[in-house]
Amino acid sequence: MAEQNDDQVTDWNDQSGERWVVHQARLDAMLAVFGQVAIEAAAPAKGERVLDVGCGAGASSLALAARVGSAGQVLGVDISEPLIGRARALAPKDSPALFRVADASSAELPDGRFDILFSRFGVMFFDDPTGAFAHMRRALQPGGRVAFVCWRGATENDWMRLPMSAIKGIVPPTAPADPEAPGPFSFGDWGRVARILTGAGFTDIAIAPFDAAVPFGEGGTRDAAIDDAVHMALEAGPLSRVLADQPDDIRTRISAAVRAAFAALPGERSVMISGAAWIVTAHNPGS
């Protein structure tokens, strides 16, 4: 019988994890603003202990570590060995951030240890999200808080919507994905997020939209920036899976179609694409 989160463990230790490591610096630059807003929502204080779920290469863990200081602690957990390897390599020697390869939905975590359960785009991949949040809640002290950022729906996120629309008619349409299947957009419906957190025992749930335009492509000229954005979309972004195994002529047509879509976006030596996220906060009752 398949274990919980098996597909995600495989993917994040294989293609998705490797792609993320290759493009880590660029992805961190794009996601920084979203992580920063979630950190402000978490409001970590000196000396607090934070669990960073699906920490990836650890950018948010290190930002949290700077806030909690040497009297505090940040534990970043992630199922991806390559990403945890990168996080450990990037962490300064004296950082209060520690990293562990573990599935957050089942990892052994000390009861009531943490003040804050945090995540930057790392909580949308659980087979059983309610069970996962109930498990992680036990690691929070009574009165502890949750703050995370997750994507809204795919159609609200231009970094997904534009490339996917551009390739219509070039590759055969695929069956629409189950919106609740583990994946980047599985928390797009705020009602579902509220149900998951309520079912896991959290209270005071607040879910607020946050939008930001991020430089998806950059370069010395506008043309170079558009080429860079196309490269990111094809290699690191939503089209990387679609392109796998496509013949050269189809790849060329896809590349041209995405380029035309990106050329219409704002930016001088960049291509600015908007992302639409939820900033979610909640409390562990009991204090």
Euclidean distance between CA atoms 50 and 72, whole angstroms: 8
The reply to whether 59 sits near ligand SAM by the rule CB under 6 A is: yes
Q: How many residues bind ligand SAM (CB under 6 A)?
A: 23
Euclidean distance between CA atoms 87 and 73, whole angstroms: 15
Euclidean distance between CA atoms 67 and 118, whole angstroms: 13
The reply to whether 79 sits near ligand SAM by the rule CB under 6 A is: yes
The reply to whether 82 sits near ligand SAM by the rule CB under 6 A is: no
Segment near ligand SAM (CB under 6 A), from 103-111, 187-195, 210-218, 257-265?
A: 103-111
Binding residue for ligand SAM, selected from 39, 50, 73, 103, defined by CB under 6 A: 103
Taking CB under 6 A as the rule, which mask of x and - marks residues 28-57 in contact with ligand SAM?
Answer: ---x----------------------xxxx
Segment near ligand SAM (CB under 6 A), from 66-74, 99-107, 110-118, 223-231?
A: 99-107
* Least gap, CB of 64 to ligand SAM (angstroms): 11
Binding residue for ligand SAM, selected from 50, 65, 83, 282, defined by CB under 6 A: 83
Burial class (CB in 10 A: 0-12, 13-18, 19+), 18: middle
Amino acid at 259: R
The reply to whether 188 sits near ligand SAM by the rule CB under 6 A is: no
Segment near ligand SAM (CB under 6 A), from 117-125, 136-144, 211-219, 264-272?
A: 117-125
Which residues sit opposite 101 in a β-bridge?
Answer: 78
> At residue 222, what are phi and psi to the nearest 5 degrees?
-60, -40
The reply to whether 161 sits near ligand SAM by the rule CB under 6 A is: no
Binding residue for ligand SAM, selected from 73, 80, 157, 186, defined by CB under 6 A: 80
Taking CB under 6 A as the rule, which mask of x and - marks residues 249-278 in contact with ligand SAM?
Answer: ------------------------------
The reply to whether 125 sits near ligand SAM by the rule CB under 6 A is: yes
**For residue 55, is it left (φ>0), alpha (ψ between -120 and 50) or beta?**
alpha
Binding residue for ligand SAM, selected from 126, 133, 185, 202, defined by CB under 6 A: 126
Residue closer to ligand SAM by CB (options 121, 133) is: 121
Residue closer to ligand SAM by CB (options 79, 236) is: 79
The reply to whether 117 sits near ligand SAM by the rule CB under 6 A is: no
Euclidean distance between CA atoms 228 and 139, whole angstroms: 42
- Residues at the interface with ligand SAM (CB under 6 A): 5, 8, 12, 31, 54-57, 59-60, 77-80, 83, 103-105, 120-122, 125-126
